[in-house]
Amino acid sequence: MCSLLIYPKFILNIAVFYKTHNLIVMNLDNQLRLRHVRTFLEIARAESVSLAASRLNITQPAVSRSLRELEDMLGVRLFDRVGRSLRLNDAGRVFQTHASASMTELLRGAERLRSEGGPAARLAIGVLPTAATDLVPAAALVFRKDMPQVKLSIHTGPNGLLFNQLRDGVVDLVVGRMPEKEARAGVTFQQLYIEDVVLVCRPDHPILDCPTPEQKIEAYPLILPTAEAVISESVARYLASVGLSDIQAAIETVALPVGRKLVSTSDALWFISRGVVADELARGILVAVTLPSPILSGPVGYSISRASPINVERSVFADCLKRVKRGAAGPLVGAF
């Protein structure tokens, strides 16, 4: 098993961890191996030695031994035992950040050395409406620049469908709002930002002149998110808070082309995630109604299956999402 010092950026990331914790590790190049980092990351994701062993296709004693060696090298414990599970402690979470970044760099380097004549790599992304209009297209262009040989397959659909496909391995990750508790079974979520839900209408809608617009909502046709949409419960709670718990939707949709056309050509009002209509709001095609009580905001990010193995393409795409949100993606024109 070769030393990880073959990849300088890995050691740079790990060194940050050592410096942060005031640790002195001697002869690192003679001790740290790729298996230590892979084993650590799989245990962190699975929260179980037995499940990590199954994913890595090695024995449980081998997993336990690699973890013990890594903790001895670092001089700290990385996990706390909670019942039958292993949970990352503070030191473990810090190390995970640098180890994950380092593994991504190693896998990216291997990917760039892959023969052009080899089988084409593919990455399948599930996209919920709030991320479909801006975040994912921008990240896709960055990903295209980083990994032009990888075919990116983008799937859209209802929340329940996409998360079932994630658990089944049909898609490699899902980008959008954090799912409700039931849909989160078997997946992990990484937050990128917080986003609110808005009530939108056409620019010359009469409700915009009303000092108490929440009292006029029931006077106009109402478009609500579908029952399976992640934001549906937030909208229902808001309507109940303003005395409209029994109001009926004229139409249910979270689809931008349908909702945009309905709202811009009628008196209809539409509750929808801000990200879905961000371009329309910026261009003045639609307007957000100012409500005295803002609708509950929610986290937007990406979800991956706990059962899936480490995937270089997925790791790179996740990094692209983060770079887009940080504004560090660079110019996207000409990505194709």
CATH code for position 270:
3.40.190.10
**Where is the domain boundary, 50, 79, 112?**
112
Distance between CA atoms of 89 and 274, rounded to whole angstroms?
Answer: 35
> Does residue 306 lie in a domain region?
yes
> Does residue 208 lie in a domain region?
yes
pLDDT in tens, 116-148: 555 568 899 999 999 999 999 999 999 999 999
Same domain, 45 and 181: no
Same domain, 71 and 166: no
**Which amino acid is present at 37?**
V
Distance between CA atoms of 25 and 15, rounded to whole angstroms?
Answer: 9
**Where is the domain boundary, 73, 94, 112?**
112
Same domain, 245 and 161: no
Question: What SS3 state is found at 156?
Answer: strand
> Does residue 331 lie in a domain region?
no
Distance between CA atoms of 259 and 262, rounded to whole angstroms?
Answer: 5
Give the DSSP letter of residue 3.
B
Distance between CA atoms of 149 and 252, rounded to whole angstroms?
Answer: 39
Residue 210 tokens, joined: 């009303």
Same domain, 145 and 218: no
Same domain, 179 and 315: yes
> Does residue 336 lie in a domain region?
no
Same domain, 283 and 270: yes
Beta bridge partners of 187: 305
> Does residue 57 lie in a domain region?
yes
Same domain, 102 and 133: no
pLDDT tens for each residue of the chain, 336 residues long: 343 333 444 444 554 444 444 444 444 556 888 899 999 999 988 889 999 999 899 999 999 999 999 999 888 999 998 888 898 898 888 888 778 777 776 776 666 666 555 556 889 999 999 999 999 999 999 999 999 989 999 999 888 889 888 888 889 999 999 887 776 778 899 999 999 999 999 999 999 999 999 999 999 999 999 988 889 988 999 999 999 999 999 999 999 999 999 999 999 999 999 999 999 999 999 999 999 877 778 899 999 988 777 788 999 999 999 999 988 555 555 555
Same domain, 282 and 203: yes
> Does residue 335 lie in a domain region?
no
Count of structural domains within the chain: 3
> Does residue 168 lie in a domain region?
yes
Beta bridge partners of 126: 155, 174
**Which amino acid is present at 296?**
L
Among 275, 280, 199, 274, CA closest to 244:
199
pLDDT in tens, 47-83: 899 999 998 999 999 999 999 999 998 889 999 988 8
Same domain, 16 and 155: no
Domain boundaries, position 255? 197-296
